[in-house]
Amino acid sequence: MTFQQQIQQGIPNELPQPKPYDPNINHAPKRKQILSEEEQKLALRNALRYFEPKFHAELLPEFKEELQKYGRIYMYRFRPDYEMKARNIEEYPGKSQQAKAIQLMIQNNLDYAVAQHPHELITYGGNGAVFQNWAQYLLTMKYLSEMTDEQTLVMYSGHPLGLFPSHKDAPRVVVTNGMVIPNYSKPDDWEKFNALGVSQYGQMTAGSYMYIGPQGIVHGTTITVLNAFRKIRKEPKGGLFVTSGLGGMSGAQPKAGNIAGCITVIAEVNPKITKIRHDQKWVDEIHENLGELVERVRKAQENQEAVSLAYLGNVVDVWEKFDEENLRIDIGSDQTSLHNPWAGGYYPAGQSFEESNKMMAENPGLFKEKVQESLRRQVAAINKHTEKGTYFFDYGNAFLLEASRAGADVMAENPGLGREFKFPSYVQDIMGPMCFDYGFGPFRWVCTSGKPEDLQKTDELACTVLEKIMENSPKEIQQQMADNIQWIKGAQENNLVVGSQARILYADAEGRMKIAEAFNKAIKNGEIGPVVLGRDHHDVSGTDSPYRETSNIYDGSRFTADMAIQNVIGDSFRGATWVSIHNGGGVGWGEVINGGFGMLLDGSDDAERRLKSMLFWDVNNGISRRSWARNEGAIFAIKRAMEAEPNLKVTLPNFVDENLL
């Protein structure tokens, strides 16, 4: 069968042969056994409903073995034989160009070079899934190959509920992930619902088909690192940044450190992912001996190198060793997946990678104790460094939250509203006031032709647009504009592409709309192929997350999620090609609600109409909420937006005299 025929087939009429477990692939850790005997039967019933009864006798023992061996039913047998990668949009079967674009983006999320655990359909973060099992993937791709521009595919946590009649301006796909009732949103609830096959953790851009490899966070991390050094009034050159994690999102850190120009030391316990990042040239060197690492850092400081050094081992040992050696750390953070602390997101010190994996499945209670003990040790070492002048910030991975739950010394002496911890979130100190309040966030695009020359052309178009906008930009956003122009000019030489020909760029509503217009015109003129627009959910409007994206909201509304819900509703009727809303992003299940979109530009007048309407709302929804919280940058930004668009009228806050209060 051809690639197109395999897509159109969906779930095959005859059972494919079982597939052997490939030990060379980076696999998800075994999940703990959380289902009762009756619930295990229910999980099997749920899995078998994808298949005709004549196959049940053969599949039942196989699925039972997967459930008992891995804690989930992945349906490995149904993994496709074709190479999993983003192809040219014209290679996909279908009646709708928009549906073909979504097929492309799904396959990009599962590309072996992109996905963290590709055989388990997990893109990043240890549990950020595109689908729960391979039957869902096959059925979804089949639906997309059949869809017209007057239908909408409804996705329930990885499950394709079906194609429904709609109209050409409706989204082609509407995605929800993990939207459980709030009282059933604890970590163990996720474990149970996911094992039953009824819900999944979509992370942010995994379950919304918008992940573009670590590049997606490189730019944001570069901005964060640059501004962290600006906060301590030190040049990055020769400065030391210590952190951890080389997985899907955290793997961006060493590359960002190199672009910023500092020395980055990053610890990672997983040998496979460490080797992958080194092979991809996202990290320069791998070290396994702490003594040698210390000497290498001293040499790098002396020579003022821009270099990234991976330590294959636990970050706790790094913090403690650098303290013993009195090695000065300028800025520090952590990007282990602490939204998922008990199932592979964080590995405790004092144990091997293999020992930890065995313990988390066979003795989860003891594993939790070891993780919390390790967090207390890590914080104790970090505190010693901060007393010497290190600037430490939480990187939005729930590090401070989980450390506080472990009893670590992270609480502020005099906590205030939104300032419970002694260390700030990077959003509170950097991204919120400097970027999000002014409407700057991670706009991204994918060239569906797969041609590097198309990406280069879009880089040039974006740079030209930004330079022109900057000529008349107010002083309040000149730094943001300059940083982004510098970024896009260096994007090609930094070899950021992993998987699809994609780019990320922090831009405000004006920048996003004008860049998108330039792309659509170039497509219309035949200069480039169609382009998919999107963004990270980690943005101005898409996400309500009290300890990350909305951590610099101080009016008491940090724990509300109206903005994220309004965002996805508004995007859906303003022209998005697909929309998504998720429970649980980078900070954990039950800790955040986040929404995203995708939009295909095909050079048409319809695409131009949609991009103007949707992109304007997608940004200004969040600025409006931030201005109502009395954030000065957001008040400035929304007043500018109202001057530019007469139909925009936003309720502005009045300030109360503090003496009167």
Q: How many angstroms separate the CA atoms of 131 and 122, rounded?
A: 8
In this predicted structure, what is the pLDDT of residue 587? 85
pLDDT in tens, 216-227: 788 889 989 999
Contact indicator for 508, 622 with CB cutoff of 8 Å: no
Query: How much is the average pLDDT of 183-206?
Result: 95
Q: Which candidate, 237, 166, 175, places its Cα nearest to that of 208?
A: 175
Q: Rounded to whole angstroms, what are the CA distances from 158 to 46, 194, 203, 413? A: 13, 11, 12, 44
Q: State the average pLDDT over residues 48-65.
A: 98
- DSSP track, 494-561: TT--SSSSEEEEEE-HHHHHHHHHHHHHHHHTTSS--EEEEE-SSSSSSEE-TTTTTTT--SS-TT--
532: closest CA among 619, 591, 487, 596? Answer: 596
Is residue 387 classed exposed, middle or buried when 0-12, 13-18 and 19+ CB atoms within 10 A define those classes?
Answer: exposed
- Interval 450-456 mean pLDDT: 97
Q: List, for residues 588-634, the tens digit of each pLDDT value.
A: 889 999 999 999 999 999 999 999 999 999 999 999 999 999 999 99
Q: Which DSSP state fits 125?
A: T
Q: Does domain 214-409 have CATH number 1.10.150.530?
A: no
Q: Tell me whether the CATH fold assigned to 214-409 matches the one assigned to 432-660.
A: no
**432-660 CATH choice from 2.60.40.10, 3.40.1770.10, 1.20.58.100, 3.20.20.70:** 3.40.1770.10
SS3 366: helix
Flag whether 126 is marked binding: yes
Closest CA to 241 of 344, 322, 351: 322
Any idea which of 12-16, 244-248, 302-306 has the lowest mean pLDDT?
244-248
**Four-point Cα dihedral 426, 430, 432, 438, nearest 10:** -160
The reply, when asked if residue 396 is annotated as ligand binding, is: no
- pLDDT of the residue at 248: 66
Angstrom distance (rounded) from CA 420 to CA 512? 35
Categorize the per-residue pLDDT at 88 as very low, low, confident or very high, splitting at 50, 70 and 90: very high
| Cα-to-chain-centroid distance, residue 238 | 29
Listed in sequence order, the residues at least 6 apart from 374 whose beta carbon sits closer than 8 Å to its beta carbon are: 314, 316, 346, 347, 348, 349, 350
Tokens of 610: 């949609």
Structure letter (DSSP) for residue 217? H
What letter represents residue 482's amino acid?
Answer: A
3-class SS of residue 395: coil
pLDDT-derived band of residue 215, with 50, 70 and 90 as boundaries? Answer: confident
CA–CA separation, 525 and 124 (whole Å): 37
- Is position 125 annotated in a ligand binding site? yes
Q: How far apart are CA 451 and CA 9, in angstroms?
A: 28
pLDDT digits (tens, 9 = 90+) for 276-298: 889 988 899 999 999 999 999 99
Exposed e or buried b per residue across 612-643, where buried means at least 16 C-beta atoms within 10 angstroms of its C-beta: bbbbbbbbbbbbbbbbbbbbebbbbbbebbbe
Distance from CA of residue 156 to its chain's centroid? Answer: 20
The mean pLDDT of 15-23, rounded to a whole number, is: 94
**C-alpha–C-alpha distance, residues 120 and 358, integer Å:** 18
Of 312, 262, 308, 301, the residue nearest 282 (C-alpha)? 308
CA distances from 597 to 63, 68, 145, 518 (A): 34, 36, 20, 20
- Measure the CA–CA gap between 176 and 202, rounded to whole angstroms: 8
268 is in an annotated binding site: yes
- Segment 359-373 shows an average pLDDT of 95
pLDDT for the residue 386: 97
What pLDDT score does 295 carry?
Answer: 98
Phi then psi dihedrals of residue 107, to 5 deg: -65, -35
The predicted pLDDT at position 249 comes to 66
Q: Tokens 């395999």 appear where? A: 6
Q: 531-535 and 122-124 as β-strands: parallel, antiparallel, unpaired?
A: unpaired
Distance CA 253, CA 95 (A): 41
In whole angstroms, give the CA distance from residue 517 to residue 611. 8
The Cα–Cα gap between 407 and 409 comes to 7
Alpha helices (runs of H) in 337-391, residue ranges in sequence order: 353-362, 364-387
CA dihedral 260, 263, 264, 267 (to 10 degrees): 180
Question: Do the annotations mark residue 586 as ligand-binding?
Answer: yes
Domain boundaries of the chain, sorted by first residue: 3-196, 214-409, 432-660
527 known ligand binder: no
317-321, 398-402, 443-447: which has the minimum mean pLDDT?
A: 398-402
Least confident of 102-106, 482-486, 644-648: 482-486
- Strands 419-421 and 391-392 come out as unpaired
Mean pLDDT of the chain: 95
